[in-house]
Structure 1
Amino acid sequence: MTTATLSPTLGANPADLAVEAHDVERRFGDRTVLHALDLAIARGEFVVLLGPSGCGKSTLLRLLAGLDRPDGGVVEVPTERAVVFQADRLLPWQKVWRNVTIGLRGDGVKERALDVLGEVGLADRANAWPKTLSGGEAQRVALARALVTEPDLVLLDEPFSALDAITRLHMHDLVRRLHQRHGAAMLLVTHDVAEAIALADRILVMREGRIGSAYPVTLSAEDRRSSQAREDLRGQLLADLGLAGRR
């Protein structure tokens, strides 16, 4: 029988990986959600996970976040990691800067919050209450909160799905800049093929509880927005997801 472990630190070999998962199993009652799943994410890599509802995407993310445990296999992740959820999960009774620094102690905490709020364009909203923020602003605060500790791994569980189309595009630009600046490995769970192409270094398609296909994305920023190569990749992903012929 496979022993289930969740290691908070990476092994020394290979040193260039931020995430290693081998033969991972997760069951709920008589239903197996993750089955013999293998996953590796390089340090600094931006990976996007696509797949139909119920294929195990969010279950895998919860395992990597330490919010759940596998029933079998091995999961190795960095100690320093952060999660951005679909809901911003801000505390309404705390001002914005205090929401960014939840759990932090010591000197210079507010300064750290102001620095990272400046990175997401919200330095002037540091003393605002969450109820006064727009949806896009609230998610920017959630991103700031994830990055303030300089994590080695950031997990994003459909954080932009409730935003309007224009705000979503602005968030894509912001996340790309933050990824380049901070260099953390990132794993984004989404149903949006266009979002995956816009952000990923590598796109993984998940099916029946395991990783089915992998697509490296080497397009330039301009080609990600509009090019024949983008449309070709989009067509391949839609076909892989069983959505061939969709516009």
Structure 2
Amino acid sequence: MSVKPNPVVFIHGLWLHATSWNPWVEHFQRAGYEASAPGWPGVPDTVLEARAHPETIADHGIDDVIEHYTAALASLPAAPILVGHSFGGMIAEKLLGLDLAAAAVAIDAAQIKGVLPLPLSALHSTLPVFRNPANKHRAVSLTPEQFRYGFGNAVTPGESDQLHDQWAIPAPGRPLFEAAAANFSLHSPAAVNTHNDHRGPLLLVMGGQDRTVPEAITTATLKQYRHSSAVTELLEFEDRGHSLTIDHGWTEVADAVLVWLDKHGL
């Protein structure tokens, strides 16, 4: 099988380690893509190390993450296809808007500047961070119960607890505080160039049962792109929650992404 011209880079979000993308990396490699999943700045190489050293993860904001991935993408032989989940989806959107990628897939992506809906379930999912203003400069972990609410509500409690044990790590609070203040900040790091007519295609994917990024946020994100002539499409998995990239049904999502890439000749 010949290797596809554009490599694929997977970008994780808050509370999941980069290695949670390993099954996707292997799946895309079998489909002919060069694929990788670099972690956020400060995130150690393993889940256990990340849990043992939350201080290395703490206090990295959106701009730090963008700078980190911009440097990583610069070393690639061709413009990459970005696949991001949650805050990783928002990072993928931002990098695509900066013309640093050939295409992007944003799965249950965190809200960008201009998105106004804030459903109560989303607020509840992020309460472990927002309950203490000092968490802006810390890395915060989720308990299994909190993970079940925000990630694993569409799978069995047993599977949710297994996913938490396998992949969950502390997450920096700063990006959440930055996103929450985005619509009150003139130069918010959560701003995305949604008017770019020359960028590559974008696929927004949403889980219909997602509590952390409810569909109201994703549909409002889609509206932010209405003034761009570039391809922007939406795909919904009605019965899936925020764990859709890591739970037992991840291959359904991954295969849908591969079909979409093939449709656009990527």
Task: Provide TM-score, normalisation by structure 2.
Answer: 0.29
Higher strand residue share:
1
Structure with the greater alpha carbon radius of gyration: 1
Higher helix residue share:
2
Higher relative contact order (CA 8 A, sep 6+): 1
Task: Provide TM-score, normalisation by structure 1.
Answer: 0.31
